[in-house]
């Protein structure tokens, strides 16, 4: 609840806070984080950009 302690809020404020944080928008089910999939996606992006850079360098005669 931020940097304030729960005792520092009035009861009606706590009730509003609890109502908002317990609403359905704050309880979205999410898929588990998959770091290997993210690493693989980054590898694909970097490979494509590297290949494009090599191709363009070849076209310009830099290689």
59's enclosing H/E stretch is helix 35-60
Q: Which structure tokens are listed for 47? A: 């490979």
Tens of pLDDT, residues 9-61: 888 988 888 888 887 776 777 888 999 999 999 999 999 999 999 999 999 99
Inform me whether the pLDDT recorded for 63 exceeds 90.
no
Q: What is the DSSP string of 8-53?
A: GS-HHHHHHHHHHHTSGGG----PPP-HHHHHHHHHHHHHHHHHHH
Question: Any idea where the domains of the chain sit in the sequence?
Answer: 6-26+33-60
Distance, CA of 25 to chain centre: 17
């Amino acid at each position: 609840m931020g940097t304030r302690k729960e005792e520092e809020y009035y009861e009606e404020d706590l009730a509003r806070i609890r109502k908002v944080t317990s609403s359905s928008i704050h309880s979205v089910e999410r898929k588990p984080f998959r770091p290997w999939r993210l690493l693989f996606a980054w590898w694909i992006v970097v490979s494509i950009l590297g290949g494009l850079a090599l191709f363009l360098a070849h076209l310009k005669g830099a290689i």
